[in-house]
């Protein structure tokens, strides 16, 4: 059949909607290869920016108007919220005639785009273009002999070609939001119909594509879940779900795992006797809970259900963008693993079961707000009815996300928190910590949590005073109750008397004055009273961190966490990209030395694109340098990038998770190969060191010393391995104390090895520890940029012989509390008075 195009319209336009801008442009480039120069207008609406995944209805609306030349537009989408965003964009079109010319096509993105582009170039109309694209998988399906997905009415009915399987839930909290979201994400990306059933409890079958339904399975640790799959990619879907389960759905060990065992054991885990100091500083103000009360929703009806549905979808789109941006920030500042909880929030916003319920209520005449509220109550009630307390608590997650949508729908802003207020929470996530406004949050009190949890580290980096592990009793503090918090001493005083308030304010004023003088001298060297210089550097995880480090007077980058380049993406960065970013970090620091740690993933930092073994205890498994030995190509690329810039700036290469001398010698050979490949000879200012995280390495440091230029002690991991107390588990937070004499003995052993010693763990940022570390012989401290000025001041106030004497006493102390008592006593009896500037 011959097709004729009028000059006024041209071919049908195409719009590609994807969560990934890079993916969309790659798909368009592939499609254009098939056109051989024939003109077809293809517009892209993908990603929130070049690096942030997400979809935006405004972008899609603009792309549709650009693609439309009168012959109509076919929109192809990748998955999930891309469909919802495209529907919203269509509803936002003011021109009814344009809206009628747009078709949302259910075709697979890549195959569908190629076929659609060829059909449009050949003059096909929009219906034919969409039909051709939708049938794009026919050739592949026929060739592989796979039956198409059936459209059975019920999940209990057998389907032709169905595959079955099962898996055992090994996650401590069962199949809760984060692991469930991994299942939902996996099945939504495949052309398969997947159903799950908790065979241990005999539950009904539920669609694996619905987060709210999967959560109601009540699948606890040890339960068996059956899987039924049909569709063109049934085998891939079944294998993927079973493999995910074998890896515990890539979920790291979570803070509070011991706490949640109460449901099974009926007993309370051990608790610290008092709040634990977590972030230095003092805050006084009225208490306010983490989550505000939900807005009131009056029952209301509508005569315009289409308009109400459009309003609701607009509110959901606004919240989705907010969550996506918070997730991106959490990934960059904390890590991909901790940011995974936001995936569950995003999936809930596009949950088919939930949205179908809401749509049904709106179509029946209920207004959007009460319809949304009622549907959320149903989902929450399903979760609250489960027998496990942890899964019951997930109803609060549903309520929190639903509350965001209600506020956007009703135009009600989040409650304005009182200036100087003290936030009281159970346990902050990194994303919640990232969202806090330090100008309004005087302090944070957490009922649970750990001083080394990622959210706590973020609070310290932002200068927000905090205590953790204060006990569940603080959750009952009435809103508005005056609290006085000392994040340095670990104090929380409820309804403080006027005298106590005056004491806290005096301490706060003194600290503010000290911080002012410290900042004024931030760029000056840190030298003890008797002339011992200590380098004070910054731990950085981005170019912005490096800029902050220079602003706060860091002498060097004592630790560059290169993982930020590898996490949250589809593939590893190549050598050129790594080199460019490392150079930007060096430039931000103005030529100061940068200590580049090779990729430290595994354990609590998995890589989605890198096959990870299933391990019962990943913290003791294949992580850091061990993983590099399994995938040497990753290390080779990193070291080549390091070698290229080492000719232009001072570079220290640091290898993580070293346990044996053979591992160190292997990494050194890899570095030598990279230097040769770089082709500019031996760099003049290249140093090599290792992280001391494994107690055995500390004990045999003298064997390593001839082969390194420096040691850098990671006190967080060294402490958790030495004391068998997971750093993220608040139930053992008081056990995992870096002031424990056993940990100090390990540091002392490293300092006696003969090689220079640095500390880059959180202990380096603790002013109480400065005399101990300097007295033991540490000559480089590295920490969050904001902590650099006060630590420099702490060094200037020291006399190294007195610090050494203090260390000798600390090494003989029986407990961590005894060590801290020695430090407190020494601080109250300075050798001689000193001014606020440390002189």
Angle between helices 368-384 and 352-363 (to 10 degrees): 140
Helix (H, G, I), strand (E, B) or coil at 135: helix
> Alpha-carbon distance 465 to 472, whole Å?
19
CB pairs under 8 A, 24+ apart, for 472-480? Answer: 472/426, 472/447, 472/448, 473/447, 474/424, 474/445, 474/447, 475/424, 475/426, 475/447, 477/287, 477/424, 478/287, 479/286, 479/287, 479/288, 479/289, 480/286, 480/287, 480/288
User: Tokens in use for 751?
Assistant: 């300092």
Region for residue 598 given its phi and psi (left: phi exceeds 0; alpha: psi -120 to 50; beta: otherwise):
beta
> Rounded to the nearest 5 degrees, what angle is found at the Cα of 633, between the Cα atoms of 627 and 636?
100
Q: Are strands 42-46 and 466-468 parallel, antiparallel or unpaired?
A: unpaired
> Alpha-carbon distance 460 to 458, whole Å?
5
Nearest partner of 88 among 323, 349, 342, 327, judged by Cα? 349
Query: Catalytic one among 105, 173, 454, 807?
Result: 454
> Alpha-carbon distance 477 to 285, whole Å?
13
> Alpha-carbon distance 787 to 515, whole Å?
10
> Alpha-carbon distance 657 to 501, whole Å?
46
Residue 96 burial by Cβ neighbours in a 10 Å radius (0-12, 13-18, 19+)? exposed
Query: Catalytic one among 105, 221, 760, 807?
Result: 760
165 within 8 A of 112, measured Cβ to Cβ = no
760 annotated active-site:
yes
> Alpha-carbon distance 420 to 437, whole Å?
10
User: Tokens in use for 326?
Assistant: 């918070």
Contacts of 377 (CB under 8 A, 6+ apart): none
Q: What phi and psi values does residue 613 have, to the nearest 5 degrees? A: -70, 150
Other beta carbons within 10 angstroms of residue 635's beta carbon come to 21
> Alpha-carbon distance 112 to 31, whole Å?
9
> Alpha-carbon distance 593 to 595, whole Å?
7
**Residue 103 carries which DSSP code?**
E
**Which residues is 193 bridged to in the sheet?**
230
Nearest partner of 447 among 278, 326, 604, judged by Cα? 278
Nearest partner of 234 among 164, 168, 166, 169, judged by Cα? 164
Helices (H) and strands (E) in the chain, counts: 33, 24
423 within 8 A of 443, measured Cβ to Cβ = yes
Helix (H, G, I), strand (E, B) or coil at 787: helix
149 within 8 A of 231, measured Cβ to Cβ = yes
Other beta carbons within 10 angstroms of residue 609's beta carbon come to 9
Contacts of 525 (CB under 8 A, 6+ apart): 533, 555, 792
Contacts of 640 (CB under 8 A, 6+ apart): 575, 674, 677, 678
CA within 13 Å, CB half, 531 = 0
Q: What phi and psi values does residue 168 have, to the nearest 5 degrees? A: -100, 130
> Alpha-carbon distance 215 to 393, whole Å?
11
Catalytic residue numbers read 454, 760
């Amino acid at each position: 059949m011959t097709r004729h195009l009028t000059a006024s319209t041209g071919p049908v336009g195409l719009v590609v909607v994807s969560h990934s801008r890079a993916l969309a442009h790659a798909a368009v480039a592939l499609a254009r290869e098939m056109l051989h120069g024939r003109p077809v207008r293809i517009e892209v609406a993908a990603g929130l920016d070049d690096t942030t995944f997400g979809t935006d209805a405004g972008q899609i609306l603009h792309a549709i108007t650009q693609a439309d030349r009168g012959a109509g537009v076919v929109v192809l989408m990748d998955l999930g919220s891309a469909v919802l965003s495209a529907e919203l964009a269509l509803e936002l079109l003011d021109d009814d005639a344009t809206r009628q010319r747009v078709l949302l096509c259910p075709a697979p993105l890549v195959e569908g785009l190629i076929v659609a582009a060829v059909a449009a170039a050949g003059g096909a109309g929009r219906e034919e273009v969409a039909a051709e694209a939708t049938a794009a998988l026919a050739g592949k399906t026929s060739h592989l002999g796979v039956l198409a997905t059936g459209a059975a009415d019920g999940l209990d009915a057998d389907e032709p070609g169905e595959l079955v399987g099962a898996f055992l839930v090994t996650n401590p909290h069962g199949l809760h939001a984060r692991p469930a979201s991994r299942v939902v994400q996996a099945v939504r990306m495949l052309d398969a119909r997947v159903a799950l059933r908790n065979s241990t409890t005999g539950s009904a079958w539920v669609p694996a594509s619905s987060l709210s339904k999967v959560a109601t399975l009540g699948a606890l640790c040890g339960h068996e879940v059956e899987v039924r799959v049909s569709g063109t990619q049934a085998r891939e879907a079944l294998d993927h779900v079973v493999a995910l389960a074998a890896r515990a759905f890539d979920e790291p060990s979570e803070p509070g795992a011991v706490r949640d065992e109460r449901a099974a054991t009926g007993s309370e885990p051990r608790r610290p006797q008092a709040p634990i100091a977590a972030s230095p500083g003092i805050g006084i103000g009225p208490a306010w809970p983490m989550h505000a009360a939900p807005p009131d929703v009056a029952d209301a009806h509508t005569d315009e259900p289409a308009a109400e549905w459009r309003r609701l979808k607009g509110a959901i789109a606004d919240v989705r963008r907010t969550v996506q941006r918070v997730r991106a920030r959490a990934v960059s500042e904390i890590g991909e693993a901790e940011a995974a909880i936001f995936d569950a929030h995003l999936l809930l916003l596009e949950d088919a079961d939930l949205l179908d319920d809401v749509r049904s209520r709106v179509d029946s005449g209920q207004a959007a707000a009460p319809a949304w509220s009622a549907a959320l109550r149903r989902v929450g009630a399903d979760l609250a009815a489960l027998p496990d307390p942890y899964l019951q608590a997930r109803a609060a997650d549903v309520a929190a996300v639903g509350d965001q949508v209600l506020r956007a729908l009703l135009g009600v802003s989040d409650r304005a928190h009182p200036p100087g207020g003290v936030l009281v929470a159970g346990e902050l996530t990194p994303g919640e910590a990232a969202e806090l406004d330090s100008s309004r949050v005087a302090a944070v009190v957490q009922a649970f949590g750990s001083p080394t949890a990622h959210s706590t580290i973020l609070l310290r980096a932002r200068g927000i005073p905090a205590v953790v592990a204060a006990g569940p009793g603080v959750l009952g503090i009435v809103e508005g109750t005056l609290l006085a918090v000392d994040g340095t001493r670990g104090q929380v005083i409820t309804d403080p008397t006027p005298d106590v308030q005056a004491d806290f304010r005096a301490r706060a004023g003194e600290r503010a004055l000290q911080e002012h003088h410290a900042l004024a001298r931030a760029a000056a060297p840190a030298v003890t009273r008797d002339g011992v210089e200590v380098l004070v550097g910054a731990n950085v995880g981005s170019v912005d961190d490096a800029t902050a480090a220079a602003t706060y007077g860091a002498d060097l980058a004592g630790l560059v966490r290169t993982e930020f380049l590898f996490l949250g993406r589809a593939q590893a960065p190549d050598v050129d990209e790594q080199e460019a970013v490392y150079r930007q970090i060096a430039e931000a620091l103005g030529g100061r030395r940068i200590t580049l740690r090779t990729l430290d993933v595994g354990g609590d930092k998995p890589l989605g694109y890198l096959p990870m073994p299933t391990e019962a205890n990943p913290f003791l498994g294949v992580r850091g340098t061990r993983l590099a030995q399994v995938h040497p190509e990753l290390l080779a690329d990193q070291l080549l990038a390091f070698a290229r810039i080492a000719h232009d700036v001072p570079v220290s290469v640091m290898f993580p998770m070293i346990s044996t001398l053979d591992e160190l010698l292997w990494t050194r050979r890899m570095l030598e190969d990279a230097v040769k490949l770089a082709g500019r000879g031996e760099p003049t200012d290249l140093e090599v060191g290792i992280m001391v995280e494994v107690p055995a390495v500390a004990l045999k440091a003298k064997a390593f010393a001839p082969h390194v230029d420096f040691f850098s002690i990671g006190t967080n991991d060294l402490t958790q391995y030495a004391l068998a107390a997971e750093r993220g588990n608040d139930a053992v937070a008081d056990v995992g104390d870096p002031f424990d004499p056993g940990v100090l003995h390990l540091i002392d052993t490293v300092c006696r090895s003969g090689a220079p010693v640095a500390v880059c763990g959180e202990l380096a940022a603790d002013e109480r520890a400065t005399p101990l570390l300097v007295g033991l012989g540490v000559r480089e401290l590295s920490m969050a940029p904001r902590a650099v000025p006060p630590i420099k001041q702490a060094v200037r106030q020291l006399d190294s012989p007195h610090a050494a004497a203090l260390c000798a006493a600390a090494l003989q102390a029986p407990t961590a509390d005894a060590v801290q008592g020695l430090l407190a006593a020494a601080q109250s009896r300075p050798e001689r008075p000193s001014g606020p500037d440390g002189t």
